[in-house]
Chain A
């Protein structure tokens, strides 16, 4: 079997198409295990994984923790609140202390873009990025692509609209990288003030009109308006945002076709998506959550396996 080409998962940017396909194939096998009576395998027995969450998280943290438990790894959980970070300890000192406890892999979420890469350069551990500021959230990007791929059969020439706060989103970049690698066409849509200027560097088209974007796409991935990262007013009001860029049942019903509706969560009901759309049969938000565990199990399995070989060859 092929090996994954990277030793750490810092971003989808560093993966190849073969890597993503390998992760998807492995996730397929794990998905089957997650539907068994007993959903646990002994594969990562003896491997210790630290979940370092320097930012709040519900889905990602629980999903990683569940994936680790399903694989029988030992787990250390760390959150910023209640830790020595408040006493002024630096990131590298915190991590080195955790690694001194013989931890094999580190899952890190951090508000600073590049935090995961910084750790990978300065420690010997295997690092998995669970979101670094507004940069990347690779496992979310992978599971979004996997969810669309599972429903549509393939991503080649499929049209995906990424809608919302692209500027502050770490999911957007990971989505763009994974979708482009797998052959999908990508457009981004949202208020111009929430579209980063560097978007032109990627194979992505900006669509200013939501209705035209929805008419064009096979799947729409709705990103949250990240109020907590906004230090100025990017649009006049949430009401206006909802009117212009919120997904409403009427805009879905107007389409003469069915499209998949994704959202990485957490959802601001009534802002980027109307509550009644969440009950639509093509809304696959809970599929994304289920697939997230399988994708994270696959990433852990492939990276742990690679790491074991590196240690062996040392």
Chain B
């Protein structure tokens, strides 16, 4: 596999800061809004945004949680091994709240479809928005588009986008991985 660095830590910080500011523009003090990170990788991005909102922008009483979509996915029959479930942690009422789903990469849109159904188990939000760090354009299987985008990336079908936000030994980064026999990076 060949890899190309899309984002390094300083650039990521700028993007996360910009995403946080966009959230504040639309949600002000977050009194009626809840951030929900999608397990497992969306939670790492959620943690960075939450830290920024609380520590740098002094948002009080910010509500945030984690959502596992395993049992709501549509690929139960097509995966080679069983999908491994993790935990959801939404310990507050979401009825009539504004939910912001947070995920690291938006690709086919199927995870978000599962999340939209899964979140209904907790109540009926008044609005659901989507924040993604990387938006892989032209690869959607479903009519789902993000409201907040860190970076738009155009990729081939077999490319993989790897977001590293949780490795304490390495700096945060985003890579694009390509098969050796595919077109070279340009």
Contacts and interface: CB of A to CB of B under 8 A. Distances in A.
Given A1-B83, A3-B82, A306-B82, A33 B121 contact: yes
Given A29-B87, A32-B88, A308-B76, A41 B71 contact: yes
A312 interface: yes
A310 to B, nearest CB: 12
Given A1-B84, A301-B82, A42 B71 contact: yes
Given A1-B83, A43-B71, A306-B82, A312 B77 contact: yes
5 contacts: A3-B82, A25-B85, A33-B88, A36-B121, A43-B71
B183 interface: no
Interface string A24-68: 011011101100111111111000000000000000000000000
A308 B77 contact: yes
Interface of B: 68, 70-72, 76-77, 80-88, 117-118, 120-123
B82 A29 contact: no
Nearest to A303: B82
A308 B75 CA distance: 11
A29 B117 contact: no
Interface in A176-192: none
Interface of A: 1-3, 25-26, 28-30, 32-33, 36-44, 71, 301-302, 305-306, 308-309, 312
A15 to B, nearest CB: 16
A33 B82 contact: no
A42 B122 contact: no
Contact of A302 (B70, B82, B87, B122): B82
Given A36-B121, A42-B117, A29 B68 contact: yes
B68 to A, nearest CB: 7
B120 A38 contact: yes
A33 B86 CA distance: 11
B121 A309 contact: no
A33 B70 CA distance: 11
Contacts of A37: 121-123
A299 to B, nearest CB: 12
A29 B118 CA distance: 13
The SS class assigned to the B binding surface is: loop
Contacts of B76: 43-44, 305, 308
B81 A26 contact: no
Contacts of B121: 33, 36-41
Given A1-B81, A42-B117, A32 B87 contact: yes
A41 B120 contact: no
Contact of B72 (A26, A32, A42): A42
Contacts of A306: 82
B87 to A, nearest CB: 6
A26 B123 contact: no
Contacts of A36: 88, 121-122
B84 to A, nearest CB: 3
Contacts of A3: 81-82
A308 B123 CA distance: 32
A305 B76 CA distance: 7
* 6 closest residue pairs by CB, A with B: A1-B84, A29-B85, A41-B71, A305-B82, A38-B121, A36-B121
Given A1-B84, A306-B82, A312-B77, A29 B70 contact: yes
A172 B84 CA distance: 31
B70 to A, nearest CB: 7
Contacts of B70: 29
Contacts of A312: 77
Contacts of B80: 309
Contacts of A39: 121
B144 to A, nearest CB: 18
A4 to B, nearest CB: 8
A39 B88 CA distance: 13
B103 to A, nearest CB: 19
A43 B117 CA distance: 12
A68 B80 CA distance: 23
A40 B86 CA distance: 16
A21 to B, nearest CB: 13
A2 B80 CA distance: 10
A302 B85 CA distance: 11
A33 B77 contact: no
Nearest to A43: B71
B75 to A, nearest CB: 11
Nearest to B77: A308
A79 B141 CA distance: 45
